């Protein structure tokens, strides 16, 4: 994995805290539907199939919150 020089000083602890803060915020967010996408196995910038998968999940959302878009439909 390549890193941008400015990202070097960012600690793992900071990134974990940032992730936890976003998770907490969106767990309680109810002003619009929220789709949580696990990006570990997706690359929508370079893969048309991955982008189509995300678009399909957006189009078929039935609830206010859905998650687990991780490269295969669950």
Q: What pLDDT is stored for residue 73 in this prediction?
A: 43
Instruction: Tell which residue, 36, 29, 30, has the closest CA to residue 66.
Output: 36
**E strand or H helix that includes residue 37:** strand 34-37
- What does pTM read for this prediction? 0.62
Q: What's the CA gap between 62 and 11, in Å, rounded?
A: 38
- Residues of the chain with confidence (pLDDT) below 70: 1-3, 68-74
Q: What is the CA radius of gyration of the chain?
A: 15
* 17-29 per-position pLDDT tens digit: 999 999 899 989 9
- Location of structure tokens 């994995």: 1
Other beta carbons within 10 Å of 69: 22
Sequence ranges of the domains in the chain: 31-74
């Amino acid at each position: 994995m390549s890193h941008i020089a400015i990202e070097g000083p960012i600690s793992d602890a900071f990134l974990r805290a940032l992730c936890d803060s976003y998770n907490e915020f969106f767990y309680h967010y109810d002003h619009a539907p929220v789709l949580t996408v696990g990006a570990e196995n997706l690359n929508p910038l370079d893969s048309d199939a991955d982008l189509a998968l995300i678009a399909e999940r957006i189009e078929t959302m039935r609830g206010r919150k859905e998650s687990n878009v991780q490269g295969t439909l669950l």
